């Protein structure tokens, strides 16, 4: 009997009398791992993770143990969590179940051009040609100003279950399906989707659905498939599908014109998500959630929806300061401007800054010297730009009040009520 066997016996006894002592359990699991008793080690690591899902040592141990037992899928899930928590995974352990063991992890693009075009049928093999951004472009939820309620909903519905798989499993929560972000235009849905990719340490692929659908129909199916293939090849990846409502509309507009094949292809890809590579996440966005095709809302597809509300005062101040950051501005009372711009979307606020900048430029051209953007120029611009959100809420209110039997617009209804819209 080796010295370690004695320690194992002693620690096992100690655990019998105090099973909640996670330090002892971790110590025992680590020794078992060293002794190549991987199954026993994995059992202990799993107990620790059920109680403390972000325990890095336990995640690392669990990853090694499951990899050693040949359970690559489980190892990949732990690797993904570790990466999401900002910890490098064990070299040699594939970051997803389908990766080649000695493939160098690829640098994944975050952000970048809004449209990702997949060119023809060759796209899947061209997957590595996707150019990757530097880490500097990466944003996380911390970069999303304000919107605490939205962040909390995202945490509960999406990130929480991903971070705490053991707990999600204990509550019977399936780790599959996409997340739909809905709300008025220009209010941060795309920005939040990028932040989620950052949270998951994943690449970001953005696709405007109406573009895919408008392409030559026969080719669209291939393009869609190529897009998902590319995501799998570069996993972990977030596929962001904007204008998800376009699908529903197209389907009723274009009876029997081949659109059905594209829709079926999309549904097939979505349904294949949890059987294929689990490190591909699909996020959808729409300004018109009431137009979303019911087929897309079935379980395992876009079965969770989150209302992304208009920027609150904290968000507005941040958006204004971001938009003015690279412009020659004088002393601006941003909190006052943020207060005055209730009902303005992120895009409206950007327009206010744009307009004020134009006026300042005119002034500078006349005077021949550099002029700074002033508070009064911004205030004047703000008066000229009409907030665009109100009209969206006119329609949204009807749906929240009269078409919410399933409760899908509960967040929206609550927001309307709280803000007396």
| Residue numbers at the binding site for ligand ADP (CB under 6 A) | 144-147, 185-191, 285, 311, 315, 318-319, 346-347
Q: How far is the CB of 347 from ligand ADP (least distance, A)?
A: 5
Rg over alpha carbons for the chain, rounded to the nearest Å, is 25
Nearest to 30 by CA among 66, 3, 65, 79: 65
Nearer to ligand ADP, 83 or 145 (CB): 145
Q: How far is the CB of 187 from ligand ADP (least distance, A)?
A: 5
> 410-418 vs 389-402: helix axis angle to the nearest 10?
120
Nearer to ligand ADP, 322 or 364 (CB): 322
Q: How far is the CB of 400 from ligand ADP (least distance, A)?
A: 18
Distance CA 187, CA 256 (A): 35
Is residue 242 within 8 Å of residue 185, measured between CB atoms? no
In the bound state, the residue with its beta carbon closest to ligand ADP is 346
Which residue shows structure tokens 């204004």? Answer: 320
Nearest to 57 by CA among 36, 96, 16, 85: 85
Nearer to ligand ADP, 276 or 346 (CB): 346
Nearest to 161 by CA among 176, 146, 144: 176
Q: The tokens of 368 are what?
A: 């021949």
Distance CA 313, CA 340 (A): 9
Nearer to ligand ADP, 61 or 146 (CB): 146
Helix, strand, coil % in the chain, rounded to nearest 5: 55, 5, 35
Nearer to ligand ADP, 148 or 362 (CB): 148
Q: How far is the CB of 337 from ligand ADP (least distance, A)?
A: 15
Q: How far is the CB of 283 from ligand ADP (least distance, A)?
A: 11
Provide CB contacts within 8 A for 335, sequence distance 6+: 313, 317
> 346-367 vs 313-324: helix axis angle to the nearest 10?
30
Q: How far is the CB of 249 from ligand ADP (least distance, A)?
A: 18
Q: How far is the CB of 388 from ligand ADP (least distance, A)?
A: 11
Q: The tokens of 10 are what?
A: 């002693």
Nearer to ligand ADP, 83 or 244 (CB): 244
Nearer to ligand ADP, 44 or 189 (CB): 189
């Amino acid at each position: 009997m080796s010295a370690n066997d004695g320690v194992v016996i002693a620690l096992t006894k100690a655990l019998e009398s105090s099973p909640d002592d996670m330090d002892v359990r971790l110590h025992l699991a680590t020794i078992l791992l060293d002794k190549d008793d991987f199954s026993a080690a994995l059992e202990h690591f799993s107990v620790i993770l059920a109680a403390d899902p972000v325990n890095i040592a336990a995640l690392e141990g669990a990853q090694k143990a499951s990899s050693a037992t040949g359970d690559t899928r489980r190892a990949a899930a732990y690797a993904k969590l570790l990466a999401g928590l900002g910890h490098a995974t064990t070299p040699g352990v594939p970051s997803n179940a389908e990766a080649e063991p000695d493939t160098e992890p690829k640098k994944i693009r975050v952000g970048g051009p809004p449209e990702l075009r997949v060119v023809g049928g060759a796209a899947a093999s061209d997957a590595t040609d996707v150019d990757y951004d530097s880490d500097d472009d990466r944003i996380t939820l911390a970069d999303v100003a304000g919107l605490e309620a939205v962040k909390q909903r995202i945490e509960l519905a999406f990130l929480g279950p991903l971070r705490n798989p053991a707990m999600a499993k204990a509550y019977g929560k399936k780790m599959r399906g996409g997340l739909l972000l809905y709300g008025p235009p220009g209010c941060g849905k795309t920005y939040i989707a990028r932040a989620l990719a950052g949270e998951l340490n994943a690449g970001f692929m953005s696709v405007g659905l109406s573009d895919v659908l408008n392409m030559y129909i026969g080719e669209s199916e291939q393009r869609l498939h190529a897009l998902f293939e590319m995501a799998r090849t570069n996993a972990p990846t977030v596929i962001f599908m904007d204008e998800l409502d376009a699908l529903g509309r197209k389907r009723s507009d274009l009876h029997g014109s081949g659109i059905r094949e594209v829709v079926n292809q999309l549904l097939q890809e979505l349904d294949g998500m949890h059987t294929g590579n689990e490190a591909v996440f699909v996020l959808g966005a729409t300004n018109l959630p009431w137009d979303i095709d019911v087929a897309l809302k079935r379980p395992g597809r876009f079965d969770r929806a989150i209302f992304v509300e208009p920027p609150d005062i904290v968000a507005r101040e941040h958006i204004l300061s971001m938009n003015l950051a690279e412009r020659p501005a004088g002393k601006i009372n941003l909190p006052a401007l943020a207060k005055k711009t209730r009902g303005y979307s992120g895009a409206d606020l950007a327009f206010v800054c744009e307009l004020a900048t134009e006026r300042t430029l005119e002034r500078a051209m006349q005077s021949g010297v550099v002029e700074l953007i002033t508070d009064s120029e911004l205030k004047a611009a703000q008066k000229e730009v009409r907030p665009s959100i109100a009209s969206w809420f006119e329609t949204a209110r009807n749906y929240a009040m009269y078409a919410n039997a399933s409760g899908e617009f509960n967040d929206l209804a609550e927001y309307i009520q709280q803000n007396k819209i």
